[in-house]
């Protein structure tokens, strides 16, 4: 999907946030570990991915519950945000994720970032890429990007205003 398609064809598209708590009011919270797109409120357009992530968070935190919060997007507000859009894993995406996972990103600041999810077991692969041991092609192959797994990240309080809580998906 291209940015243009995303902005014009998804007027009623829900986005999901998987967690061990229901999140009616999204907030930007400092992550406990380096993430693909840095600090922000992470959502996805993929219901199955949100379910999987909610279960991972539940296990990681030793919680008794998991929740999928559902939001609708205000596309008029979204169009006013500074967007970074990766429609597929490529060198630009790989470099962006790499510096974010390394916590060394010093580039342009974006309000909302969309793109593929890197496999969570990839830290050694990124180190090998950064050291020049792996080529771009081999690195992308090893990351094993899962088809249809994506992330839509809201990086500041203004961008979060694009989200409206719509309910909870029961597992």
Distance CA 13, CA 47 (A): 11
Q: Check residue 144 and give its pLDDT.
A: 66
For the chain, domain boundaries: 3-169
Q: Are strands 41-43 and 67-73 parallel, antiparallel or unpaired?
A: unpaired
Q: Check residue 149 and give its pLDDT.
A: 84
Is residue 110 within 8 A of residue 82, CB to CB? The reply is yes
Reference 127, options 98, 104, 100; nearest CA is 98
Q: Which residues pair with 17 in a beta bridge?
A: 69
Other beta carbons within 10 Å of 146: 15
Reference 170, options 65, 13, 73; nearest CA is 65
Q: Can you give the pLDDT of all 171 residues of the chain as single tens digits? A: 666 777 776 667 899 999 999 999 999 988 777 888 999 999 999 999 999 889 988 998 999 999 999 999 998 888 899 999 998 888 899 899 989 988 888 999 999 999 998 766 666 777 788 888 888 888 887 776 666 689 999 999 999 999 999 999 877
Q: Check residue 2 and give its pLDDT.
A: 67
3-state helix, strand, coil in the chain (%, to 5): 35, 20, 45
Q: Check residue 35 and give its pLDDT.
A: 87
pTM of the model: 0.86
């Amino acid at each position: 999907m291209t940015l243009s398609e995303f902005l014009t064809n998804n007027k009623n598209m829900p986005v999901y946030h998987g967690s061990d708590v229901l999140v009616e009011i999204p907030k930007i919270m400092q992550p406990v570990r380096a993430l693909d797109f840095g600090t922000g409120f992470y959502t996805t357009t993929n219901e199955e991915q949100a379910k999987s992530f909610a279960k991972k968070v539940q296990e990681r935190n030793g919680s008794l519950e998991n929740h999928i919060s559902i939001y609708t997007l205000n596309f008029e507000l979204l169009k006013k945000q500074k967007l970074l859009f990766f429609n597929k894993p490529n060198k630009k995406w790989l470099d962006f994720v790499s510096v974010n996972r390394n916590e060394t990103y010093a580039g342009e600041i974006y309000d909302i970032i969309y793109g593929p999810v890197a496999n969570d077991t990839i830290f050694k692969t990124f180190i090998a890429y950064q050291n020049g041991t792996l080529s771009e092609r081999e690195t992308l192959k090893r990351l094993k990007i899962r088809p249809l797994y994506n992330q839509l990240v809201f990086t500041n309080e203004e961008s979060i205003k694009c989200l409206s809580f719509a309910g909870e998906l029961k597992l």
